[in-house]
Amino acid sequence: MIMAPLSLGILILFSFFTSALSAATGMGGGVLLFTVMTLYFPLNVIIPIHGIIQFFNNFLTLSFLRTHLKKSLLLPFFLGSIPGILLAAFIVDKIIKTSAPQMIILGLIIYSLFRPKRLPDLELQHKNFFWVGLITGFLGIIAGAIDPVLAPFFVRKDLTKEEVIANKAAMQAIVHFAKIPVFLILGFDYLPFLSFCLMTNIACFFGTRFGIVLLHKMSEGVFLKVFKIALSLTGLRMLYKLYL
């Protein structure tokens, strides 16, 4: 794949910036990069390529914060993601051009941010992350970005900011990795995009390291506020794309 130097430079720069944003706040980086990529690639190319970049990005994050991983969250999520991914693999080519996945994700975001007090929150018991895995495995394959699917379930006070970032990154890595065989089976050719992925992943490495430094400097209160603001901006972006 041949790209104009300016276009390539813009995407590499955004790979650094969005990786730092994801590592520091746990939110917004993947969606922002996905949005920028729509300026240069068609949707059927973006989802598999974005998946490789985000897998590497999230793998780096969970590696840097591996001592904060919680098996009680990740095991149920992993088990639930398997049937969700398999179901999505059968219908992804039929539903990928519809707005249904984005509408479901937007609904989750709105509920988590503006839930009336009399209604239950999304602070699930750890074992119930099986269902989060099911939803994320399904929507992650057909909608592309996974940030806004997972984020509403991490608006909670029983996890430290490092635990939020580490476990959310691990869950995203699981689903993004699953995209690779799914799209290979569907006939997508990754080979022309390998050099592009390599350059953006190098930028992701430095961006993630920078973001982790920022994360450690933030207080828990500031982190939660930043997380909610980033989630709100993601919701507004999705609302704009859907209806305007």
> Is the pLDDT confidence value at 141 over 90?
no
Residue 225's domain spans which residues?
5-243
Percentage of the chain modeled with pLDDT above 90: 37
The count of domains in the chain is: 1
Q: What is the pLDDT of residue 37?
A: 85
Q: Write the burial class of residue 42 (CB in 10 Å: 0-12 exposed, 13-18 middle, 19+ buried).
A: exposed
pLDDT tens, position by position, 74-111: 999 999 999 998 888 887 666 555 566 566 666 666 66
> Is the pLDDT confidence value at 120 over 60?
no
pLDDT tens, position by position, 31-84: 778 878 878 888 778 888 988 999 999 999 999 999 999 999 999 999 999 999
CA dist., res. 93 & res. 97, Å (int): 8
> Which amino acid is it at 108?
L
H/E segment holding residue 73:
helix 71-95
DSSP 103-157: HHHHHHHHHHHH--TTS--S---GGGHHHHHHHHHHHHHHHS--HHHHGGGG--S
